[in-house]
Structure 1
Amino acid sequence: MSEIPKTPENGEAKVEVVQNEEEEEKQETNKWLLCLKTNFLTLATVGGVVCGIIVGVVLKETVGSFSKREVMYVSYIGDVFLRMLKSLIIPLIVSSLVSAIASLDLSLSGRIAARAIAYYLTTTFLAVVLGIVLVASIQPGSNHGGGSNSEINTSSVQRNVTTVDTLLDLVKNMFPPNVIQACTQQHRTNLVPPMKTPNETDLYKWDIEEELVNGTNILGLVVIAIVVGIALAQLGEETKTLANFFHNLMALSMRITTWIIRLSPVGILFLVTAKIMEMEDMAMVLSQLGLYFATVMAGLLIQGFVVLPLIYFVLTRKSPITYLVNMSQAVATAFGTASSSATLPITIQCLEEKNGIDPRVARFALPIGAAINMDGTALYEAIAAIFIAQVRGVDLSIGSYIAISITATAASIGAAGIPQAGLVTLVMVLDTVGLPAEDVSLILAVDWLLDRFRTAINVMGDAYGAGIVHFRSKKELQNL
């Protein structure tokens, strides 16, 4: 059998084929390396959450109980990370809102704001309705008693207040008398028994005391930033130097943010581990509050993975799955920090760099969303209030359900973007159905964990909202 003669052309062809194959393999490897490099921080952040849960459970099962000092040592690194993130909240919110509004045409700003607020109010109300339907159908409170009430300290949530006072405080905080004070304190109304009739039980007849409590007045800062941005946009060239200052402050805040978020996997690992170590009795939590926990989780999952993606798909005709995957780092950070405001820098970065959202929209819609859009909090407050009513054997009328839906929506709007802020505003919802504030203690055992899940849903709602507003405003943005 004769051999095929090896000519120079054949040899060169074989070499070329081998080189092409090697080049394709090299390109494929580079793609994987690029993908891994691009998503490394996201994967590391999710890994920090998972590792924190595993380490916390292992320590809890092997060692048992821990002292407060031991928990403090474990959470120390996470607390430092959280403090660094929180230090960026004020400069980021103020600069992003002022910068975004000042760079937009005022008529466009109004339309973007209208779209954002309409979306936020709609999704929040839908979350409340979903929560009411679930808790009324499953009735988790009918299967539990109030046994855990005496075992949990309630001093941190007891406050005498009416629904009217809470709503009025919400409006007052929108217009702070002192800009510097708004960075560190909020206004709050407190009721005290009248001296003449100390045994009076009607809170509406109690004496009114106004006080300042520690905490950033997010709503007040948002209103101030919006007013300043509108003024800069109207004055135009006359205040260009001041507008550039806020643009530069925004760029500076984002650069510092990129440094801090590189520490997020480690910080979140220690935060989650310490929280699990704080649990006194995991078995008690699962046995007494398991159905309530499952009801809230079912509502959060439906809201986050059915309702919000469906709204996004209907309004944009784009894949909500791809959009959410690109936001995974922000969602994981929200779970780890339990603060939508602290997660704001990372949320903005994910939207702009991974989802291609126009910075003018992201930096305008997200700070507003972080202040008023609390889908997870609204859903949780509606379920919690009705659950407590079921535990106490209180029959609720249709009017009570309607009142809860309205109050839970308003209370979630007033909830600051800090850990467990919804626990405080829940008192307002309890007042709607005539339940005392100390009944919040019935759910404290699992609230720390649910708070992390509902914060993640809050951030997802903000992100989807920014994507919808960006899509609907695309033509107008191109004309600028």
Structure 2
Amino acid sequence: MTKKPFTSHLLVRVLLGIVLGIACGLFFPEPVARVFMTFNGLFSAFLGFIIPLLIVGLVTPAIGDLGRGAGKWLGVTAFIAYASTIFAGVLAFYVARASYPWLLGGERDVAALASPEESALTGFFSLEMEPVFGVMTALLLAFCLGVGITLIPGDTLHRTMDDLRGIIMRIVELVIIPLLPLYIFGMFLSLTMNGQILTVVSTFLKVVVLAFLLSLLLLVLQYVVAGAYARRNPAALLKNMLPAYVTALGTSSSAATIPVTLRCTENNGVRGSVAGFVIPLCATIHLAGSTMKIVLFSVAIMTITGMPIDNLGYLGFILMLGITMVAAPGVPGGAIMAAVGVLQSMLGFDETAVALMIATYIAIDSFGTATNVTGDGAIAVVMDKLIGRRGATEPVEETPEDLALSDARTAG
């Protein structure tokens, strides 16, 4: 069974939303644009409400499906995600240190970029949709319930979580995915009309290009490793993740892109139970692209403003940043907001430098997010291979859909 028509159609709609958002941002009057900003505010609030439930509804039964030993696979997945994040940060740091002295030139004043909120469009009204609990609480609850399911003899709770997964996925399929292109249209409409992105990109154009090229290199490396380990074609694996990459470009949210990332991962032959466990988990703990971007822009700001850079101290910052990224809520701008405390305490960023960092990060937030979610697919391929090797003592109960995906993988 395949879902490629779904992802290909969504890809077209997302690309159309991006193009139309940029084009309409050149001539739309502000009152009309604020109508779309109102929708985006409501949709974003609903995403914030549903994301913790989505994590519990997907991760809990997925862990239960893994059976005994699920706790070990949680640890393995977290270790791979952390290692990937740290590698991305270290790679970005050494590339920046080697290239910035001649790439960026001398010091200059960039403080004028530090207040993007002054020109940002807002909606006509907003509604508070407080989530039942936070993202970290949702992850912990999902871990406890999922592992608990594997330790008790009954299956009542497992069936209940399966029903919750069905409800969540129906909401995703009937509400979130159909409205994503409109949300993406509004995002790019706002970015075009507020003008801040143009200022940031023109000032840091060389850094933006470097960040984009390094993110592509990181994805190639991730899928070469995953493909070699799973004995799969890395180019085919990466191609199947394209709809998730483009969707994340529009949403700037790893969590909002989870449904699309799941579909793309399953198209790569990853079993549904493994994909349902790895993708929602990595959407929160695997932020390699975001870490790479934070490193590149923080070093750029330190370079052009004359701040001292201690190589050893900065490597400690990267290690701490990898841990801090776990607290990022998976929504637009979440990673940089989670990193503010570390930027201040370990790099000595003052209020102006932090505001500038937020402005530069959010202006091209979507590129880091797209790298994050696409990399999640590589981790899922590795975990699918790892879990498949655990042997007859730890059987996995597979659904008919999982078996069909396994057959498709074998055939491919």
The answer on 1:404 being equivalent to 2:317 is yes
In structure 1, give the amino acid aligned to 2:207.
Answer: Y
Sequence identity of aligned pairs in percent?
A: 23
Distance 1:49 1:359, change over 3 A: closer
> Which residue of 1 is the match for residue 410 of structure 2?
none
In structure 2, give the amino acid aligned to 1:112.
Answer: W
- Report 1:456-471 matches (<5 A): 456-471=370-385
Q: Is the 8 A contact 1:296 1:380 kept in 2?
A: yes
In structure 1, give the amino acid aligned to 2:310.
Answer: S
Count of aligned pairs: 380
The answer on 1:363 being equivalent to 2:324 is no
Measured in 1, the distance between the counterparts of 2:45 and 2:247 equals 14
Q: Is the 8 A contact 1:101 1:364 kept in 2?
A: yes
Measured in 2, the distance between the counterparts of 1:146 and 1:476 equals 57
TM-score (norm 1): 0.71
Partner residue of 1:452 out of 366, 369, 388: 366
- Report 1:427-442 matches (<5 A): 427-431=340-344, 432-442=346-356
Distance 1:40 1:273, change over 3 A: farther
Q: What is the CA distance between 1:373 and its match in structure 2?
A: 0.7
SS in structure 1 of the partner of residue 255 of structure 2: helix
The answer on 1:374 being equivalent to 2:339 is no
Measured in 1, the distance between the counterparts of 2:325 and 2:147 equals 26
Deviations along 1:268-296, one digit per CA (max 9) or x if unpaired, are 233323322222473x4343221221222
Q: What is the CA distance between 1:452 and its match in structure 2?
A: 0.5
Deviations along 1:353-396, one digit per CA (max 9) or x if unpaired, are x2232222112222221111111111112222211211221221
The answer on 1:325 being equivalent to 2:239 is yes
Q: What is the CA distance between 1:259 and its match in structure 2?
A: 1.9
The answer on 1:235 being equivalent to 2:197 is no
> Which residue of 2 is the match for residue 385 of structure 1?
298
Relative to structure 2, which stretch is displaced further, 118-127 or 322-331? Answer: 322-331
Q: What is the CA distance between 1:59 and its match in structure 2?
A: 4.2
Relative to structure 2, which stretch is displaced further, 454-463 or 317-326? Answer: 317-326
Partner residue of 1:96 out of 58, 66, 87: 58
Partner residue of 1:248 out of 163, 167, 172: 163
Q: What is the CA distance between 1:401 and its match in structure 2?
A: 2.4
Q: What is the CA distance between 1:350 and its match in structure 2?
A: 2.9
Measured in 2, the distance between the counterparts of 1:84 and 1:346 equals 17
> Which residue of 2 is the match for residue 10 of structure 1?
none
Q: Is the 8 A contact 1:138 1:295 kept in 2?
A: no
> Which residue of 2 is the match for residue 46 of structure 1?
11
In structure 2, give the amino acid aligned to 1:137.
Answer: A
> Which residue of 2 is the match for residue 166 of structure 1?
none
Measured in 2, the distance between the counterparts of 1:144 and 1:236 equals 67
> Which residue of 2 is the match for residue 192 of structure 1?
none
> Which residue of 1 is the match for residue 256 of structure 2?
342
Q: Which has the larger radius of gyration?
A: 1
Q: What is the CA distance between 1:79 and its match in structure 2?
A: 4.7
Measured in 1, the distance between the counterparts of 2:107 and 2:197 equals 17
Distance 1:329 1:75, change over 3 A: farther
Deviations along 1:58-114, one digit per CA (max 9) or x if unpaired, are 445557xx64x443223445555545555432222112222122233322x133223
In structure 1, give the amino acid aligned to 2:184.
Answer: I
Measured in 2, the distance between the counterparts of 1:364 and 1:370 equals 11
Measured in 1, the distance between the counterparts of 2:92 and 2:75 equals 26
In structure 2, give the amino acid aligned to 1:229.
Answer: G
> Which residue of 2 is the match for residue 136 of structure 1?
97
Distance 1:105 1:334, change over 3 A: same
Q: Is the 8 A contact 1:116 1:465 kept in 2?
A: yes
In structure 2, give the amino acid aligned to 1:226.
Answer: F
TM-score (norm 2): 0.82
> Which residue of 2 is the match for residue 272 of structure 1?
188
Q: Is the 8 A contact 1:146 1:442 kept in 2?
A: no
Measured in 2, the distance between the counterparts of 1:379 and 1:276 equals 25
Q: Is the 8 A contact 1:323 1:355 kept in 2?
A: yes
Measured in 2, the distance between the counterparts of 1:138 and 1:45 equals 38
Unaligned ranges ≥5, structure 2: 119-129, 397-412
Unaligned ranges ≥5, structure 1: 1-33, 157-182, 186-215
> Which residue of 2 is the match for residue 111 of structure 1?
72
Q: Is the 8 A contact 1:407 1:428 kept in 2?
A: no
Q: Is the 8 A contact 2:289 2:371 kept in 1?
A: yes
Q: Is the 8 A contact 2:61 2:162 kept in 1?
A: yes
In structure 2, give the amino acid aligned to 1:217.
Answer: G
Relative to structure 2, which stretch is displaced further, 319-328 or 140-149? Answer: 140-149
Measured in 1, the distance between the counterparts of 2:157 and 2:79 equals 31
Measured in 2, the distance between the counterparts of 1:268 and 1:155 equals 19
SS in structure 1 of the partner of residue 332 of structure 2: coil
In structure 2, give the amino acid aligned to 1:430.
Answer: L
- Report 1:149-188 matches (<5 A): 149-153=111-115, 184=131
Measured in 2, the distance between the counterparts of 1:466 and 1:337 equals 21
In structure 1, give the amino acid aligned to 2:189.
Answer: T
